[in-house]
Structure 1
Amino acid sequence: MSEIIEITDLSHPALDVYARLTQAQLRSRRHPEKGVFIAESPKVIANALKGGCRPLSFLMERRHIAGQGAELLAACPGVPVYTGDREVLAELTGYELTRGILCAMARPKPLAAEEVMAGARRLAVLEGIVDATNVGAIFRAAAALGMDGVLLSPTCCDPLSRRAVRVSMGAVFQIPWARLGDWPEGGLALLKEAGFATAAMALSHRAVSIDHPALASEDKLAILLGTEGDGLAGETIARCDYTVCIPMAHGVDSLNVAAASAVAFWALRTKEEPPSR
C-alpha cells in the first residue's frame, strides 16, 4: 500500500525534484547512480515501469488516487504519494499537470553502445540534436517504425529530460539507446566494426534517393540524422558509406529532423527476415 502524504508545505525538500531542481541537477552527471528523471502522465509512467525503471515518489491530484492513478499505485506498493488539489500542485510546479500525475524515477543504468548494436540490424544515430521535442519525436518514430536502437553523440539532448520523455510517449523506455563517447571518428569506427553500413541523411549533390535499392539490400544499416538547422557535420558525412536524401516537391528543400526521421525509418526499415548464418 502506498503512503499518501498531503502537501501542506510547498518548500518540503522531497518536492524539490518536481519543482526546484534543474535538468542538470536531476541528471546528476557527477553521480549518475543518484540521477532522477520525471515521467508525466499514466501512459508514460506505465511504459517506464514496464521498462524496468524504479519509482521514487508520485505527485498527483487527490482525485486520481482512486481514479486513473490507482493501477499505478497498486504496481508500486510503498512508494510515497504527494497529493493535493489541482490548484496546490499548479502552485508548486508552476503549471497544471498533464493528466494530474508525475512520477520521479531513478535513472536506469546506461547501456554501452556495443550493447545497443548487438543483434541490431537498423539503428538511428543522432548527432547534436538539442531540442527535446525533436529527440522525443525521433524516439517515438524509431520505436514505431522498425529501428532496433538509438545512438546519440555526446552533444545530443538527454532523452530522459521531462519534455523528451513526454513527447516520446514513453518510447524512450521501449527501445534501447546509448551515448557514443568519441564522435564522429570513434563512433563511426564502432559501427563499422559491428558490420553496419552508414547512411548520412543530408542535402548534397552526391546524395542518392532514399529508395535506392543498395540501401534496402544492406543487412545492417545505421541512419544518421544531424542537428537542427545545420544538419550533419561535413566530417561525419564524408566518413559515411552513403549520403541519402528524401526527394522533395514544390521547391521545399528539407523537412524538420523529426519528420525526416520518420520518413527515413519507414523507407529503410528491415523488410525481410535476416539471412541465415
Structure 2
Amino acid sequence: MPVIPVEDLSDPRLADYAHQTDVALRKARGTQHGLYLAESALVLERALRAGHSPRSVLVLGSAVDEAVELLRDHPEVPIFVGPGELLAELTGYILHRGLVASMNRPELPGVEALLAHARRVVVLEDVADPTNVGAIFRSVGAIGADAVLVTPRCSDPFYRRAIRVSMGTVLQVPWGRAGEWSELGPQLAASGFEIAALALTPHAVSLRDYAARAPERVAMVLGAEGHGLTEAAIDVADVAVQIPMAHGIDSLNVAAAAAVAMFALVR
C-alpha cells in the first residue's frame, strides 16, 4: 500500500481528518452510509475483523510498520504519515495512540434481524454522552449482551469518543438504531421479549429477585444520566427493576448500572 508523507494540510485526500466533527463524518458526501474514525491500532484491527472497509490511515512515523501490517489485505488503502505536531494541526487533537483510520460506516442491521436470535438485549434510551455509550458497550459486550438497540435521540455509538472509550467494542457487539416506543415496544413484544425498565419507581422489583426468575428473552432498558427513563419507556415496560444499594445511595452511573444488570441476567 502507498505510504505518503504529509506535506500539505490542504491536500483533499486528508479531508476526512481535517477538524471534522462526528456529525460531518456521518453525513460525508460520496459515501453510502457515512464515515467514522478508528483511533488506535487495536480499534482498527477490530474494525477490519468486523469486515469494515478502510478509506485511509493517518499515522505517526513510529506507527507506520504496524499500519502496513494491519492493512496487508487492503493494499490499495493509502497510509499518510507525518510528525505529531503537523498531524495535531490537521486533526485538532494529538494522536496519542499513533494512528487514526477513516472507515466507511457499515449498513446497520434492522431491529427484527438483531432480535431474531438474541436472548439478552440492552436498549439505550436517549443516552446523550458518548463516553457513557462507549462504556456501556464495553461492559455489556464483555458480560454477554447479544445486541444493543439505541433510540433516535441516543448518542451515535460510532462517534470517535464512544469508539475510543469502548476500545472498539461497538464494532464487535451487534447494534442498531430503533424507532420510537410506539414502534419498538411492539417489535420487542412480537419477538418474545419481556421489557424490563431499570428505574426507581414505587413498584420496581429488586434486580436480584428479577434475575432469579427472568424469562428466556429480556430487553433491559436504561435511560440518560439525571433524567432517567421517559414515561413512555416506563409505560411500555412489562416490569420496572431496581438495583439494591447500600449507604443511602440511590443511583449508579448508567454504564455501571448496565454492567451490574447484565451480569445478573446472564449468570
Q: 1:104 & 1:6 partners in 2: Cα distance? A: 17
1:94 maps to a residue whose letter is G
Alignment: residue pair count: 267
Aligned-pair CA distance for 1:249: 1.0
1:206 shift after superposition: 0.6
RMSD of equivalent CA atoms: 1.6
Higher mean alpha-carbon deviation, 69-78 vs 183-192, is at 69-78
Q: Secondary structure at the match of 1:58?
A: strand
The reply on whether 1:174 has 2:172 as its aligned counterpart is: yes
Shift of 1:71: 2.2
AA aligned opposite 1:16: A
Contact map agreement 1:5 1:83 (CA 8 A) in 2 = yes
Q: Counterpart of 1:99 in 2: which secondary structure?
A: coil
Does the 8 Å CA contact 2:52/2:106 hold for their aligned counterparts? Answer: yes
Identity, % of aligned pairs?
A: 46
Query: What's the counterpart of residue 19 of structure 1?
Result: 18
Say yes or no: does 1:105 pair with 2:103. yes
Cα deviation code 1:39-61 (max 9, x no counterpart): 00011110011111000000001
1:256 aligns with 2:248: no
Which structure 2 residues correspond to residues 144-163 of structure 1 after superposition, within 5 A? 144-163=142-161
State yes or no: 1:205 paired with 2:211: no
Q: Does 1:218 align with 2:215?
A: yes
Q: Distance in 1 between matches of 2:107 and 2:213?
A: 34
Q: Kindly indicate whether residue 24 of structure 2 is the aligned counterpart of residue 10 of structure 1.
A: no
TM-score, normalising length: structure 2: 0.95
Asked whether the 8 Å contact 1:56–1:104 carries over to 2, the reply is: yes
The one-letter code sitting in structure 1 at the alignment partner of 2:141 is A
Partner of 2:262: 265
Structure 1 residue 30 displacement after superposition: 8.6
One-letter amino acid of the structure 1 residue matched with residue 129 of structure 2: D
State the partner residue of 2:130.
132
**Counterpart for residue 92 of structure 1:** 90
Secondary structure of residue in 2 paired with 1:223: strand
Question: Is the 2:55–2:102 contact (alpha carbons within 8 Å) kept by the matching residues of 1?
Answer: yes
8 A Cα contact 2:211 2:265, kept in partner: no
Residues 180-230 of structure 1: CA distance to partner in whole angstroms, max 9, x if unpaired? 12x112101100000000100001111100011566430000000011210
Superposed CA deviations along residues 223-247 of structure 1, whole A, max 9, x for unmatched, are: 0001121010112112211100001
Question: 2: distance between equivalents of 1:31 and 1:10?
Answer: 21
Shift of 1:31: 7.6
For residues 250 and 268 of structure 1, the distance between their equivalents in structure 2, rounded to whole angstroms, comes to 24
| Larger CA deviation: 11-20 vs 260-269 | 11-20
Q: What amino acid sits opposite 2:88 in the alignment?
A: A
Q: What is the TM-score with the length of structure 1 in the denominator?
A: 0.92
Deviations 1:3-33 (CA, angstroms, capped at 9, x unpaired)? 1111111122221211233222211189861
Q: Secondary structure at the match of 2:227?
A: coil
SS of equivalent residue, structure 1 residue 219:
coil
- Is the alpha carbon distance of 1:17 and 1:32 closer, same or farther for their aligned partners in structure 2, counting shifts above 3 Å? closer
Deviation sequence 1:54-102 (CA, Å, 0-9, x none): 0000000122112x33421324212001111122112212221131100
Structure 1 gaps of 5+ residues are 272-277
Q: Distance in 2 between matches of 1:261 and 1:37?
A: 25
2:11 and 2:212 mapped to 1: Cα distance?
56
